[in-house]
Amino acid sequence: MGDTTIKLRIDTPSRLHFGIIDMRGDLGRLHGSVGVAIEKPRLILEIKESSGTNIRGARSSRAKEIIERLMKLYEIPSGVELTIIEDIPEHMGFGSGTQLALALGVALNKIFDLNITVEDVAVKLERSKRSGIGTHGFVHGGFIVDGGHSVKQLDTVPPLVYRQDFPPDWKFVVCIPEINRRYSGEKEVSAFKNLEPPPADTVSSVA
């Protein structure tokens, strides 16, 4: 490898999620989301092939888990050297987990010529189980509406049904309370299951 090793730099947005349209599924589709990709906070990383895996920067343990999972899934024989230069805060509603997973998936695809898509990575790493805003925001940016999942097939990335560039002079003010009640993983899944579905007529009119 030596001096011919290619180093990739990947720069991703974060996202704001404005809500899920349908938690019922009575109309044949489940979920459906509205959101927007934002420039800051953002994830910036540099990565290249290496004989072993070496990770520096924020969320190094989480990044290692994702890399090891992808290497096992796609039978990648060597390691990578990764530096996380700038990061998105975790568990604050910015979609940090999806952006890290997709960035690493895209990086490994380019380095090792895996012939996989962003959607492949999202499905394999279970990053679009409810919403496609993070995945479509990673690829396209802008204001996004996704079409939710078919109730018959939940293991897909929800289709992009609308995308629009956002006015560059618009700003978002995000207030984050200083509390420790943050949800992720199984705790987040459980919280969603306990939500009361909205009335059917409301879902129908919004959809």
Per-domain boundaries in the chain: 2-206
Torsion of CA 116, 130, 19, 63, to 10 degrees: -60
pLDDT score at 205:
66
The pair phi, psi for residue 69, each rounded to 5°, is -65, -45
> Is residue 2 over pLDDT 60?
no
CATH node for 2-206: 3.30.230.10
> Is residue 98 over pLDDT 70?
yes
Contact 137, 166 (CB under 8 A): no
Place of tokens 């009119």: 205
- Other Cβ atoms closer than 10 A to 109: 18
- Tell me the mean pLDDT in the region 66-79: 94
- Tell me the mean pLDDT in the region 126-133: 89
pLDDT score at 184:
63
Q: To which H or E segment does residue 109 belong?
A: helix 96-112
pLDDT score at 1:
46
> Is residue 117 over pLDDT 80?
yes
Q: Which of 33, 13, 31, 9 is nearest to 22 (CA)?
A: 31
> Is residue 203 over pLDDT 70?
no
What percent of the chain clears pLDDT 90, i.e. is strictly above it? 60
Contact 105, 68 (CB under 8 A): no
What percent of the chain clears pLDDT 70, i.e. is strictly above it? 84
pLDDT score at 193:
65
Q: What is the CA radius of gyration of the chain?
A: 18
Instruction: State the pTM of this model.
Output: 0.85
The mean pLDDT of the chain is 87
User: pLDDT digit string (tens) for 25-63?
Assistant: 777 777 889 999 999 999 999 999 999 999 999 999 999
